[in-house]
Structure 1
């Protein structure tokens, strides 16, 4: 997916309980994630792609309602709490006993073979690739026994710790009562989903969330250590965590820090009877909101690579986002379906206003406050009508409009643009901004329409709305009363039942403001160098696999194939951690202008961080674009592709069980992590990544015939996923919005499978997993892939995902991909036109 508000890149999953709003993922950065919703319920969604914006892409074909198998769900729900506890424990002991028994029997059989000189052949229960013909009989005499056949040796079973660990993951996840050709998601994940209810402090839970929570817990332990590091930045990371956790100080301060901010902003008309519109200046208000609190409102800006000349950085201005997050416009515009959501939003705003009013003994009457709140929401609803939907923002060329600052005055004259940038940039960069300064504008028409809306809106409403956005962004740094208000809001928006323990959010904060330092703490304690080497080898094999797929396809001409292969081979690899992580002196140099003290309040730390991050970004305008920058924390459970860098990034946080381990069999690693690596490689060739060349420049390198053939295959993916109806809802997946991730999913698994087959051809068949020896390693490959996406979410969160997220629901990331793979159908011996083996298949790569 795309990273918000800075530049462009794609990924696998969310950061977890979401970074503060000022740490924005860039608008073109792709992440392979389940659903990434920030504090505002904002999924981090993408933008840009070739000329594939036809509104008819999802029309006409009938909906396909896919309902995952229930297994024993109804029986399970009727069990008592004690039975629910004891039965899984009994089942686990039973399965472990089977594994141990299998190992003992295997050992005894081998001893028997050795003693008697005979061979014993055991046929796997579900291995469709193994012959089931009866063995040839043997003859014997009264004195000797001589075999007249050359019997096949039985499959070896792996009993290493890595194999046992992987087998345990799968044994506790699979529902083998379900036909894999009917519902492979339930087959691979049914037991996991039944036995792992969504925690009350989350709106979704799955194997990805499990890994994320594990990393967060590891970070918590490391950040709470009462030690002083040689590294100043690592000490600042620990101080940030401790300040965030200091509830006593937060309770003492209450809303005083925020109230000081309101004074600085000229007071909030919503609460201030004496507010005078004569003193209102929109530019000044927008300057303070952005400079001191990193809040963009009517437009957003960021510094990143010039998409058509990625050797240099430049300034971007794009459409603003709504308070409920990008992609949330339907909440405002569909009053019938989302009335309860908007009522919860209104209640949340009113609740915050009430706390501020009470803390500071303000006297504005409730009726006047309610009237102002109504006008704020009415204004934002008009704002929502102007926002360009994310599925219409996939054409990067359309959004590349190079202009100068002087042209912004024509589009939105209510802002003094030169003054705006001079006052939010570092003081020594004032010279950089004038009427001739270059800027790339994303949405020209939006800027014009937004200007018209500002023109006809009363200044009191504008001031109320801008300050509300600042308040909304900053209440998370205050006492727990605001956590309670947010929880009531999130319960409606996502279904989350209770506020997470404070440490969960606080453990994530250092990774957002000091990502390299937090990553260094994590890597030193929890990352093995052998795993980095293993991942690099897999990347090489996956890249070779993609190259072979390109060579073998029949829809690209030879010249375009050559360019595609060159681009794949030019991808930059970022694995585990940046080198600076291991050099404390260089690490501290990255943060030499940031001064965080243990004496600072949490609110003060966040303000300092905002100013430092903005200053750092603006200074990039004076430097070349760094394509090798590893700019995310190593403690992040995610993976990324950046089109401008043509780079793939796999932080240490995702290179861990149950997805990856140097001790796992290759079938397990290639099925899970290999598919992630292939996913990120394929992002370079999805509907958006395909617009950029090997150097990251926005440039059409396709021949006309190849581009038309690609477009035909891309549309097949759009229609396939657009016909899936999400269980328990009436919503269809937005095939147009999710097409990039779906193309990456399909290509990634195919590349990983081809790479695994090549590994076996070169190194021989691996031993089978204990307790699962009835399944071939190729079958386990697909179980491992599906296991990556085990999980479920609350109904409200599922609805939110369909509306706002560029990633398909988990079930379709499994079913959709495998439905397009003839290899899967062959390995599981699926009958023709079975649910996971339809006649019609969509294949891009």
Structure 2
């Protein structure tokens, strides 16, 4: 379920909110940067001036198009009636005397009873929504054979993937609009009364200062390397003689602990294991510390790249080339002469070491049982799992100075992967000290390279070309808009929402949520596989969900907003590297301070400028940032059928996440406990297995891979339930308010058919083959194609709307239903 894209990962597995829609493909490096978008050929300021000059013409053109659509509709209706008449009476209408003997013949056609006229909506919102759908459709495709092609074929044909992207779709289009809007706002010279808003603009400008980056080159990273004790692979020097974990002496443990703690505290880089602070899953009134398994350089879920040499040798070779190129740049800047052959030898040993780490990492599809991953331990017990770390020293080093007394040997932590830590201890004890240090320093360098000059961006792009298919770098401004959105998410969100979000949209979204909840409750009541008591608990949980819509209210108040960032100070003279270090330290302190406070279930902990949606099981909360509440997914001017088909399905998706294979493990208060009757749980597991099998049989086009049904089951359950709930909610709306007029240009389609078109339109798009492979390996979301046909093939309502023959591809005899 992947979030807004972080620039530096702090507590990478923090479960604050699970993002529910495919984010941009990972850029495979530990900094987590994402794919950005292609810039226009003219400067934005020029476009703005042109738009201002032509706004009147645009309005006139829209009016002319609207009138033309109405005229065409009328003409079509007349032509159809004439054609029908000619088919029945090819030589003209019968003489009245032919049907009423005794009357003189006449040449006029008989008066016939008029068919009910189809009412068409001609409002601006209807025209806009119809245009989006019409321009996307390939109406020559059979909707019962491939509805994705029917709904999106033209969109995908007319929108080739830009060279600076690995995929492109309506979701990416919406993200690009938000970035463009943020860019204009961040480039403004306006001085805000809010300190944090000014810092957001400062962060953007620092990132854009490429002249300063070119002057500094890699000097700040080289200083960091020295402060961390040196990098043997770069300098050619020996590692510290007492940094030998094979001997298990206390000095070696001390140096390793110091290296890992400093890497985490100052550069946000977790090595060998990850630490984050979040709610205690079995007592969500409090926060606690989690110790999780480590990550890999190629990103979360990427272990197959390391372990399947036959299939992914190209990717691993590109990764090695990336490391070597980075080392050469650093050596040149440091004026170090290294024997190339020796460096390559050490590089190969380091990659072999990471392959061994990949072997012990638990696959993501085996990490869906949250009870298995809840293992409460004291800090003293961690020494028995990974003895090479002085755990008490580690925690007191990375925590704020005034919190060191919080940590004792009796302090409780939650360990998610017991066996991983044991295997990591064994690997460290068997590995060469030089290789361990080389790997640790590489992870720090890799995560901070993006804060250096463009030479490092160029070599990363060479890697991206192989891993995702992205052909060229994105314009720098696209990366830089993400900097304030990551480090100062609420400040960036304040800039965005104050300018681009309507309060009325928030109220409409809240009304839709209420309707979707009622629909979910009805589906629970009607199913035949849950006992009455479990049904009541499920409905109560849905009713208790916390709604975070658009933005938190405090970002509209400058004083309250600035209180969120009172311990962070960014100055215009800061370098990009310094900005990163300041932000990392501040974010880490903020994280640890939560240990002294109750868990805040109402916290809006993502940027309102994010185009995504989230569900948090520990909060039992759904979050819809302002960024996703926009066209083409939602508009207060759209007809309800379009809104319910798109954002309504998203809302239903989030509600259903509370009852997917993972969310179902938590109660209404967000606590990890079983609230299921045994028979009901068995019924749920049976239906869940159907979903796993269905999606696991989908072959991903242009690859030799199939969808991982086990990894994607939570998102697939949420997709299926979300669309069903949204359709039911729309039907209830019609019953209460009467039928809506049809869309202009699409009058031949019923509004039930338009609902499913709107849903599919949400997922229009395509991706490079390499990106498709990466998604299957690393992402818990199914490819967009299967998010459409997989869901609709399970819905009787769809087959009825499009009159799909029995056993046609989208009306199979076997259908999977969970909710």
Corresponding position of 2:136: 173
Where in structure 2 are the equivalents of 1:707-718 lying within 5 Å? 707-718=681-692
1:754 aligns with 2:754: no
Q: Secondary structure at the match of 1:313?
A: strand
- The one-character-per-residue Cα deviations of 1:433-477 (angstroms, maximum 9, x if unpaired) are 110000000000010010000011111111100110000000000
Secondary structure in structure 1 of the residue aligned to 2:420: helix
Report the 3-state secondary structure (helix = DSSP H, G, I; strand = E; otherwise coil) of the residue aligned with 2:117. Answer: coil
Q: d(CA) in 2 for partners of 1:610 and 1:667?
A: 44
- Deviation (angstroms), 1:28: 7.5
**Counterparts in 2 of 1:541 and 1:149: CA distance versus 1, 3 Å:** farther
Aligned partner of residue 352 in structure 2, secondary structure: helix
Q: Assess, with a 3 A threshold, how the Cα gap between structure 1 residues 207 and 108 changes in structure 2: closer, same or farther.
A: closer
**Shift in Å, 1:367:** 1.5
Note if contact 2:30-2:446 (Cα within 8 Å) is conserved in structure 1. no
- Alpha-carbon distance, 1:19 to partner: 3.2
- Distance, in Å, in 1 between the alignment partners of 2:277 and 2:517 is 31
Alpha-carbon offset, residue 122 of structure 1: 7.7
Distance 2:195 2:11 in 1: 21
State the distance in 1 between where 2:693 and 2:631 align. Answer: 34
The structure 1 residue matched to 2:356, chosen from 359, 368, 382, is 382
Mapped to 2, the partners of 1:721 and 1:101 lie a distance apart of: 44
Partner of 1:20: 8
Q: Does 1:780 align with 2:754?
A: yes
Q: Report the equivalent of 2:91.
A: none
Q: 3-state DSSP class of the match of 2:548? A: strand
Q: Does 1:840 align with 2:814?
A: yes
Q: Which secondary structure state, in structure 1, belongs to the residue aligned with residue 232 of structure 2?
A: coil
Q: Work out which of the residue numbers 362, 365, 369 in structure 2 matches 1:395.
A: 369
What is the CA distance between 1:325 and its match in structure 2?
1.2
Of 195, 201, 211, which aligns to 1:232? 195
Aligned to 1:266: 229
In structure 1, the partner of 2:771 is 797
2:509 is matched with 535
Match of 1:694 in 2: 668
Shift of 1:96: 11
Partner of 2:46: none
Cα distance change on mapping 1:334 and 1:482 into 2, 3 Å? same
2:228 and 2:81 map into 1 onto residues whose CA distance is 77
Query: How far apart are the structure 2 equivalents of 1:43 and 1:388?
Result: 21
Shift of 1:107: 7.2
How far apart are the structure 1 equivalents of 2:188 and 2:29? 32
- Name 2:602's counterpart in structure 1: 628
1:192 to 2:166 alignment: no
1:359 lines up with 2:333 in the alignment:
yes
Do the aligned partners of 2:182 and 2:481 also contact (CA within 8 Å) in 1? yes
CA distance in 1, matches of 2:230, 2:24: 33
Change in 2 beyond 3 A, CA 1:179/1:833 = same
Partner-residue secondary structure (3-state), 1:33: coil
Would the aligned equivalents of 2:501 and 2:626 in 1 still touch at CA under 8 Å? yes
Please tell me whether residue 335 in structure 1 is matched to residue 309 in structure 2.
yes
Task: Show the counterpart of 2:437.
Answer: 463
SS of the aligned residue for 2:646 comes to helix
How far apart are residue 276 of structure 1 and its match? 3.6
What is residue 451 of structure 2 aligned with on the other side? 477
Give the CA deviation at 1:581.
1.1
Which of 462, 467, 476 aligns to 1:493? It is 467
Cα contact 2:24–2:172 (8 A) shared by 1 = no
Question: Is contact 1:304-1:313 (8 Å) kept?
Answer: yes
- 1:59 counterpart residue number: none
**Aligned-residue offset at 1:31:** 2.0
Contact 1:121 1:152 in 2 (8 A): no
**What do the CA deviations read for 1:32-57 (whole angstroms, capped 9, x no partner)?**
2224433326899xxxxxxxxxxxxx
Q: Work out the CA distance in 2 between the residues paired with 1:534 and 1:727.
A: 38
- Provide the rounded CA distance (Å) in 1 between the counterparts of 2:62 and 2:810: 28
Q: State how 1:713-752 maps to structure 2 within 5 Å.
A: 713-752=687-726
TM-score w.r.t. the length of structure 1 is: 0.87
Q: Is the 8 A contact 1:43 1:804 kept in 2?
A: no
The alignment's C-alpha RMSD in Å is: 2.5
Q: Is 1:39–2:27 an aligned residue pair?
A: yes
Question: 2:618 pairs with 630, 644, 656, which one?
Answer: 644
Aligned counterparts of 2:20 and 2:754: Cα–Cα separation in 1:
22
Question: What's 2:479 paired with?
Answer: 505
Secondary structure of the corresponding residue to residue 515 of structure 2: helix
The answer to whether the Cα contact below 8 Å between 1:163 and 1:769 also exists between their aligned partners in 2 is yes
Partner of 1:270: helix, strand, or coil? Answer: helix
From 286, 293, 308, the equivalent of 1:319 is: 293
CA distance in 2, matches of 1:752, 1:778: 11
Q: Distance in 1 between matches of 2:500 and 2:62?
A: 30
The range that moved more, 549-558 or 99-108, is 99-108
Q: CA deviation at 1:97?
A: 8.6
1:297 is displaced (CA, Å) by: 1.2
1:491, 1:778 → 2: CA distance? Answer: 42
What SS is found at the alignment partner of 2:291?
Answer: strand
* Corresponding residue number in structure 2 for 1:128: none
Which runs of 5 or more residues in structure 1 are unaligned?
3-13, 45-92, 113-119, 126-136
Q: C-alpha offsets along residues 297-354 of structure 1, whole Å, 9 cap, x if unaligned?
A: 1110111000000000011101011111121111111111111100000000000000
Contact 1:316 1:442 in 2 (8 A): yes
Equivalent pair of 1:21/1:39 in contact (CA under 8 Å): no
Secondary structure of 1:792 counterpart = strand
Give the Cα separation in 2 of the matches to 1:36 and 1:427.
37
Instruction: Measure how far apart 1:26 and its partner are.
Output: 2.6
SS of 2:369 mapped into structure 1: coil
Give the CA deviation at 1:154: 1.1
2:519 pairs with 1:552: no
Q: Does structure 2 conserve the Cα–Cα contact (< 8 Å) formed by 1:23 and 1:513?
A: no
> Is this contact kept in 2: 1:316–1:439, CA < 8 A?
yes
Contact 1:35 1:801 in 2 (8 A): no
What is the CA deviation profile of residues 732-790 of structure 1, one whole-angstrom value per residue up to 9, with x for unaligned ones? 10000000000000000000000000000110111111111111111000000000000
1:763 is matched with which residue: 726, 732, 737?
737
2:166 is aligned to 203
Residue correspondences, number? 765
8 Å contact kept, 1:35–1:805 = no
Contact conserved, 2:73 with 2:745, CA < 8 A, in 1?
A: no
Whole-angstrom CA distance in 1 between matches of 2:626 and 2:746: 29
- Measured after TM superposition, the shift of residue 618 of structure 1 is 0.2
TM-score, length-normalised on structure 2?
0.90
SS at match of 1:336: helix
**Equivalent residue in structure 2 for 1:288, among 237, 246, 262:** 262
Aligned to 1:278: 241
Q: Which stretch shows the higher mean deviation, 18-27 or 592-601? A: 18-27
- The change in CA–CA distance for 1:453 and 1:155 in structure 2 (over 3 A counts) is same
Superposition pairs of residues 567-716 of structure 1, within 5 angstroms: 567-716=541-690
Listed as ranges, the matches of 1:517-532 within 5 Å are: 517-532=491-506
Distance 1:151 1:707 in 2: 56
Measured in 1, the distance between the counterparts of 2:801 and 2:27 equals 43
Q: Hey, what does 2:403 align to over in structure 1? A: 429
Q: Is the 8 A contact 1:243 1:600 kept in 2?
A: yes
CA contact (8 A) 1:15 1:36 kept: no
1:105/1:453 Cα in 2 relative to 1: closer, same or farther (>3 Å)? closer
Q: 1:104 — aligned with what?
A: 71
Cα distance change, pair 107–151 in 1 and its aligned pair in 2 (3 A): closer
Structure 2 CA distance, aligned partners of 1:591 and 1:222?
20
SS of the residue 1:315 aligns to: strand
Instruction: Supply the distance in 2 between the matched residues of 1:311 and 1:373 (Cα, whole angstroms).
Output: 47
| Number of the residue aligned with 1:80 | none
